């Protein structure tokens, strides 16, 4: 009679020991890592590397004297001068600030706030010229959606160019400018 309880304890111990041996081990799935988006931040200019002074270069004995040719000033042809002037003017022209949408679908609105109607849906990569900003620096005014300025929140835009000089725009002034006065009736002709 004592064998039966001992047999039960032995079977229980055997099942506990072997339960860990034949268990399934599930492979963990790799979690995809989100690719970072490129930014449109200009890279800082690299400092010029200083050249070694001529005194540190070893002297060459019995070197032949070097005769340097005198440069002859050349007058550029008139066509070259004309082509060079627009390039210089373009380089001197101020850069415009550009807004590039960095999300898939973004509402471009009539004014700087959610209460304004949507003019268009902006797509990732769409580029617009920055023409103004809101007083709280949360919205950019962009040009142009069907010849109208639009507004987009700054968190969905990568700005490139001289954004520090962009002035605060008044959205209410634009709405008043768009209100069209009713046509005046023409006087009736009398006979």
pLDDT for the residue numbered 183: 54
pLDDT for the residue numbered 169: 86
Instruction: State how far the Cα of 102 lies from the Cα of 39, in Å rounded to an integer.
Output: 9
Set out the domains of the chain in order of their start, with CATH numbers.
98-178 (2.30.30.40)
- Closest-CA residue to 108 (of 136, 146, 78): 146
Report which listed range, 8-17, 40-49, 50-59, is most confident.
8-17
Q: What is the pTM of this model?
A: 0.44
Reported as a single tens digit per residue, the pLDDT across 93-119 is: 457 889 999 998 899 999 999 999 999
Reported as a single tens digit per residue, the pLDDT across 154-178 is: 999 998 888 888 888 887 765 444 4
Instruction: Please check the confidence at residue 74 and state whether its pLDDT lies above 60.
Output: no
Instruction: State how far the Cα of 111 lies from the Cα of 141, in Å rounded to an integer.
Output: 8
Is residue 109 within 8 Å of 131, Cβ to Cβ?
no
Average pLDDT score over the chain:
72
Integer CA distances (angstroms), 167 to 13, 59, 143, in order: 80, 61, 14
Residue written as tokens 């003017």?
A: 89
């Amino acid at each position: 009679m004592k064998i039966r309880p001992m047999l039960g304890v032995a079977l229980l111990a055997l099942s506990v020991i072997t339960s860990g041996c034949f268990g399934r081990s599930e492979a963990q799935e790799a979690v995809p890592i989100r690719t970072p988006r490129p930014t449109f931040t200009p890279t800082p200019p690299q400092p010029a590397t200083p050249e070694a002074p001529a005194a540190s270069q070893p002297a060459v004995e019995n070197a032949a004297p070097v005769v340097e040719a005198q440069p002859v000033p050349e007058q550029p042809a008139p066509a070259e001068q004309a082509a060079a002037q627009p390039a210089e003017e373009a380089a001197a022209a101020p850069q415009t600030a550009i807004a590039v949408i960095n999300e898939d679908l973004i509402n471009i609105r009539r004014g700087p706030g959610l209460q304004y109607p949507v003019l268009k849906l902006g797509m990732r990569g769409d580029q617009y010229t920055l023409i103004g900003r809101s007083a709280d620096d949360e919205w950019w005014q962009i040009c142009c959606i069907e010849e109208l300025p639009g507004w987009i929140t700054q968190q969905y835009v990568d700005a490139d160019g001289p954004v520090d000089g962009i002035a605060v725009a008044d959205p209410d002034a634009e709405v008043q400018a768009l209100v069209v006065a009713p046509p005046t009736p023409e006087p009736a002709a009398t006979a």
